[in-house]
Amino acid sequence: MPASPLHAPVLDWYDHHARDLPWRRPEATPWGVLVSELMLQQTPVARVLPVWQAWLERWPSPAALAAEPAGEAVRAWGRLGYPRRALRLHAAATAVRDQHGGQVPSDYATLLALPGVGDYTAAAVASFAYGRRHAVLDTNVRRVLARLVGGVEWPAQAVTRAERDRAEALLPDEPATAATWAVAVMELGALVCTARDPRCEACPVADRCVWLASGRPAYDGPPRRGQAWDGTDRQCRGRLMAVLREAPGSVGQAQLDAAWPDAAQRERCLASLIADGLVVRSDDRFALP
């Protein structure tokens, strides 16, 4: 679509206010971008920063990571959360080495086939690392467009066809500009059009925002699902993984038993961790893969 009146203000705002994040620098490699995207899935930038730096120093290429056991990736993942992502990143690195000549793919469909890479990440890597033209629909972009164009405070639970159409219609024609637009809208959502307490006074397109124009009406939709935590298997798995991460080698049953009081739940979670490939058992010892 031809230039939208939204483009120039947002691109100009990004030019002046974008954070200086290492994976956005010119020297960042596609591998660095891919690593950042996996780490940033459901995890705040501030927590990713130090882990990303150490990761890229230790494994500057997919082949470097693929050369080590997956457990090393899980350990280096630290406390970022959702450690299956570490396993998937290791598997993605292996696939890149074995199937793509060691180069992170540049096209959406090939990226999408990598472990841990879904619609968002495939579009993000194609766009940010290679300047391809894609609608990049993350939680920030979805929130910005819901407000700016849709006039509602929150987007639907899952990406709708209308949302995707809207995002694609807004994409600048020129691939390089579209790529900057994608990261700019995302940054706008992260810094200005935030989930809580949006700073509309600092928004470069406040004068065109449907939600603001209608007086920022409160959310009026189905209840947004929270994330249960206390006493859940996720918490139990987290405890068990913490024990294994912090141990130099393998651990015995007693060390795992000490991590969670409910024996039945503990056994179920340990079994699920083994099924996920996050834990391996040899005789009566447990360790990272």
Partner DNA sequence: CAGACGTGGCC
Partner DNA sequence: TGGCCAAGTCT
Residues tagged active-site: 37
**Residue 16 interacts with DNA (CB under 7 A): yes or no:** no
Q: Are 169 and 1 in contact (CB under 8 A)?
A: yes
Q: Which is nearer to DNA, 179 or 186 (CB)?
A: 186
**Candidate segments 3-11, 63-71, 75-83, 246-254, binder of DNA by CB under 7 A:** 75-83
Whose tokens are 């000549």? That residue is 101
| Per CB under 7 A, 45 contacts DNA | yes
- Interface with DNA includes 202 (CB under 7 A)? no
227 counts as binding DNA under rule CB under 7 A: yes
Both structure tokens of 24: 């956005």
- Member of 40, 65, 184, 205 binding DNA (CB under 7 A): 40
Task: Give CA angle at 249 (53, 84), nearest 5°.
Answer: 50
The dihedral through the CA atoms of 249, 254, 256, 258 has a sign that is: negative
Q: How near is the Cβ of 60 to DNA at its closest, in Å?
A: 20
In the sheet with 280-282, reading across from the earlier edge strand, the strands are: 251-252, 285-287, 280-282
Provide the mask over 104-143, with x wherever binding to DNA is found by CB under 7 A and - wherever it is not.
Answer: -----------xxxxxxxx-x-------------xxx--x
Please report the DSSP string for 85-117 in residue order. Answer: HHHHHHHHHHHHHHHSTTSPP-SHHHHHTSTT-
Helix (H, G, I), strand (E, B) or coil at 282: strand
Supply 136's token pair.
Answer: 């990049």
Q: Which residues bind DNA (CB under 7 A)?
A: 21, 23-24, 36-37, 40-45, 47, 79-84, 88, 115-122, 124, 138-140, 143, 157-158, 186-187, 189-190, 194-197, 224-229, 232-235, 237-239, 241-242, 272
